[in-house]
Structure 1
Amino acid sequence: MPDDSSTTQLTATPGQTVGPFFGDALPYEGGELLVPLAHPRAVRLHGVVTDGAGAVVPDALLEIWQADEQGNVPTADGSLVRDGYTFTGFGRAAVDNVGHYTFTTLNPGPTESGKAAFIALTLFGRGVTNRLFTRVYLPEDTRALAADPLLASLPEDRRRTLIAEREADGSLRFDVRLQGEGETVFLAYPRHET
């Protein structure tokens, strides 16, 4: 006789660490180049990933998704396309042996009028059982930053962990701290059960 599955309680399979083995298959040539280095408005997004003790994490993998300069979310097919012309808004980069990552991209525009422009960042790493989500906000539009609902929901010291620093050469510096003092704010998204 078949089991009545509507009354059977199943135990969830525990999460597994997402690294460090992804380094063999997930990085791809040009993954960190959302635009070519010679693009006239190319901007470098870079930083260091550290753990709770402040030690560098030498085997993390980061992905970014972002709007283009006008705030349009790209819909071009093939996120992995690197043809020198198509901006897909997606990039993937592994950190080096001292925890440093680099992307070459564009400054995103805000996706809605009056909203702060940001880059969505996802981190995979050894000991991280689920990928971590955060945002990289551009520092210039202080009015939009003050009005952003996510930033406004955070205490000032936590809010600062989501705002990149604009360096003298125009680069964006965004360090990711996984735990401890100055920990980067990570976001949780609701899970939809099927």
Structure 2
Amino acid sequence: MLKAYLIFFVFGANFLGFWFFNSTALADAAKIEEISKIFLVRPDLRHEEEKIEIRGNRLEIRAWYDRPPNPNPDQMECLTYRWLLGGRGQRLGEGAPGIFQKFPEIQTVYLELFELDPKTRSVDGRGQLEKTFEKTVYAKALVRRSQLQAQNRTAEDWKAVLWEGLSSCLEAGRSLSIQKELK
């Protein structure tokens, strides 16, 4: 049963606004976070940009993962395929095939990988510093349920081929014609 809540914010006689959320989507996002193992850190310790959201039939995953030093384009493309289709690691979590299997309402999975570069600036000119982070998105990818169904592979098959080697990873990922943007 779909449960949705509409909360009104009122201060005195003045209407301030409202907030709408779907409890089913929140629960599903938590379950997806658990099975994908995308995040290794507790929610209260994560950066605010790291999140899993469900928007209609689209799952959006945004994760902080530092690029390896001196990455080549093929390695970055394979890394993106591995995170999107295989989860966090070879033996850790599930990617889009496992998510599609467990959540029939999800039709697309979008992944965004980014780095956070710490920056400091003076707040008062007397030595008090404020630490901020500059977000740099370096990989975006989107896969549809129909693309994976056409391949007729299980989640385990995808993991095996993605971790077999760089050439096999690239061949498998490219066979899906995944929408991607790499920097």
Please, what TM-score do these two structures have when normalized by structure 1?
Answer: 0.28
Structure with the greater alpha carbon radius of gyration? 2
Q: Which structure carries more strand by proportion?
A: 2
